[in-house]
């Protein structure tokens, strides 16, 4: 992976960094272990609906996703069980069943008004809970991130309003974590970064995101793949390491607090520059 491309060459800033791609490329199965882990969390992870939620008015978007998946050559099966028709299955359950066969997490947004979130299945959240976001606008959800709407809000609205069905727009987002786990739901209370961490305990968490239009249902499919990379690997890339150090040092304090880095960024920059 090109780690240096994750970070701007200057001071920290939010950036869209869009590139054009194919939805089929993003959804194409890569690793059966991902769907196995998704099924594990959805079936045996406690509350199935920590990871899947859907409003009834989101069902047309979900149905279009299934139709597009067939065109893309990726799984779209939703087994209902003997004697059970799909329409009788609750919306959140239909969403969860699609989440069991797709590798990426996905969110369904209405492409009108303030772009409300109607549903999705997120098995690998980055310290947030899907049910808490349902019904909220994209701007309201992003409003929790200090400075994000001011920096990217207009660009995000423009992107969401101009999506086309045959093209996906890809971007990435990054964070740092003390756990290599893909599923970092807040209910799991995973270890957090602190001033005593060593290099081997720090992971770069990358969200690979894709945006695709759902024109028949008037929706947007927002999809996420997560990859985890040890900080030791990032440190081997001199340019990436220098860029990350600069991003940490110039990150606004309120953003650093939101990302859980305010009290540890001095330690992290030392690890990147000196090891330990």
Instruction: Quick: pLDDT tens for 3-38.
Output: 999 998 899 999 999 999 999 999 999 999 999 999
Instruction: Determine the Cα–Cα distance for residues 250 and 263; give it in Å rounded to an integer.
Output: 14
Give me the chain's average pLDDT, please: 93
Residues 45-51 have a mean pLDDT of 85
- Farthest-apart Cα atoms in the chain, separation: 63
Confidence band of 45 (pLDDT split at 50, 70, 90): confident
Torsion-angle region of residue 48: left (phi > 0), alpha (psi -120 to 50) or beta? Answer: alpha
For helices 59-72 and 91-101, the axis angle rounded to 10 degrees is 20
Whether residue 57 lies inside any domain: the answer is: yes
Say whether pLDDT at 115 is over 70.
Answer: yes
Residue 106 resides in a domain: yes
For residue 147, what are the domain limits?
16-76+85-189+205-229
| Residue 166 clears pLDDT 60, i.e. is over it | yes
pLDDT surpassing 80 at residue 219: yes
Q: Does residue 260 sit within a domain?
A: no
Q: Which two structure tokens, joined as six digits, stand for 141?
A: 């959800």
Task: Report yes or no on 131 lying in a domain.
Answer: yes
Instruction: State the pLDDT at residue 30.
Output: 95
Structure tokens of 211? 């945006």
User: CA-to-CA distance for 276 and 272, rounded, in angstroms?
Assistant: 9
- Number of separate domains in the chain: 1
pLDDT exceeds 50 at position 226: yes
- Residue 132 in any domain: the answer is yes
**CA gyration radius for the chain?**
19
Tens of pLDDT, residues 188-209: 999 999 999 999 999 999 999 9
Q: What is the pLDDT of residue 235?
A: 95
| Structure tokens that stand for 70 in this block | 């067939």
Higher local confidence (pLDDT), 81 or 164? 164
- Residues 211-221, mean pLDDT to the nearest whole number: 97
175, β-bridge pairs = 205
Does residue 9 belong to any structural domain of this protein? no
pLDDT at 79: 52
Q: Residue 158 has what pLDDT?
A: 93
Q: Is the pLDDT assigned to residue 87 strictly greater than 80?
A: no
What confidence tier does 276 reach under pLDDT thresholds 50, 70, 90?
low
Assess if residue 161 is contained within a domain.
yes
**What pLDDT does residue 84 have?**
40
| 262 is a domain residue | no
């Amino acid at each position: 992976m090109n780690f240096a491309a994750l970070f701007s060459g200057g001071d920290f800033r939010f950036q869209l960094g869009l590139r054009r791609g194919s939805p089929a490329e993003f959804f194409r199965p890569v690793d059966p272990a991902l769907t196995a882990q998704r099924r594990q969390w959805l079936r045996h992870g406690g509350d199935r609906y920590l990871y899947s939620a859907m409003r009834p008015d989101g069902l047309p978007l979900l149905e279009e996703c299934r139709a597009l998946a067939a065109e893309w050559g990726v799984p779209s099966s939703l087994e209902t069980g003997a004697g059970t028709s799909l329409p009788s299955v609750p919306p959140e359950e239909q969403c969860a069943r699609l989440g069991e066969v797709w590798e990426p997490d996905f969110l369904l947004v209405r492409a009108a008004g303030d772009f409300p979130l109607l549903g999705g299945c997120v098995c690998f959240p980055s310290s947030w809970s899907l049910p808490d976001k349902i019904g909220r606008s994209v701007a309201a959800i992003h409003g929790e991130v200090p400075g994000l709407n001011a920096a990217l809000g207009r660009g995000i609205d423009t992107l969401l309003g101009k999506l086309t069905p045959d093209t996906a727009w890809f971007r990435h987002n990054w964070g740092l974590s003390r756990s290599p786990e893909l599923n970092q739901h807040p209910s799991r209370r995973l270890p957090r970064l602190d001033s005593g961490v060593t290099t081997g305990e720090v992971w770069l968490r990358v969200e690979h995101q894709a945006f695709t239009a759902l024109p028949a249902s008037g929706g947007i499919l927002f999809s996420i793949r997560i990859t985890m990379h040890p900080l030791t690997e990032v440190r081997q890339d001199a340019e990436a390491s220098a860029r990350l150090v600069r991003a940490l040092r110039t990150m606004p304090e309120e953003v650093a607090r939101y990302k859980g880095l305010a009290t540890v960024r001095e330690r992290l920059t030392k690890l990147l520059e000196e090891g330990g």
